[in-house]
Amino acid sequence: MILKVVTSNLGKVREYQEALSNFSIGAEHVRIPYDEIQTSSLEDVVAKGMEHLKASGLGDFIIDDSGMFIDALKGFPGVYSAYVQRTIGNAGVLKLMENEEKRKANFQCCIGCNINEKDIVVLGRCDGMILKREAGTEGFGYDPIFSPDGKRSFAEIPIVEKNKISHRGNAVRLLMKEIEKIV
């Protein structure tokens, strides 16, 4: 079985390829633009994207919307994580957190999957904290400033290990439980 991973983010594609291979599922990268509505819910963004892709005739695909939610910033950047990453980046987030001692945060990943003409939506989460400076060279996005254990950033953790604890890895495992009920 091969699922099409619809994204412009090659980092996500690599994570999906590694994670899905553990379940004997292939992941093929597909770039198809779709509307990402601005809303307060990752699930709403994914549901709308799935509607658009199915209406275009695509089947057997995965899309996701992910966000980093920082407690001290009342959940910001949350659903606006991609926009914030493009505009102020990690340096800007660290600046916002400069004098903040409480650094709890979490990453969330909502996966929408259409398989055998059935829809599945799951939400994975990884709790952690925002580091005081960037660390590591692996991964992408907020990985250099997010730590699941207060010791290493996601950018310092090899992808195989990261997928065992990350928001996306957790969402993939939930997804696989749902796929097993269908196929």
- Which positions are catalytic? 65
Burial (CB < 10 A; 0-12, 13-18, 19+), residue 180, is exposed
Inter-CA distances, 179 with 3, 20, 27, 102, 149, Å: 12, 12, 15, 38, 30
Cα–Cα dist 124/111, whole Å: 8
Measured N-to-C along each axis, helices 10-21 and 167-182 cross at an angle, to the nearest 10 degrees, of 50
Task: Give residue for tokens 């209406």.
Answer: 55
Pairing of strands 26-30, 2-6: parallel
Q: What is the DSSP letter of 38?
A: -
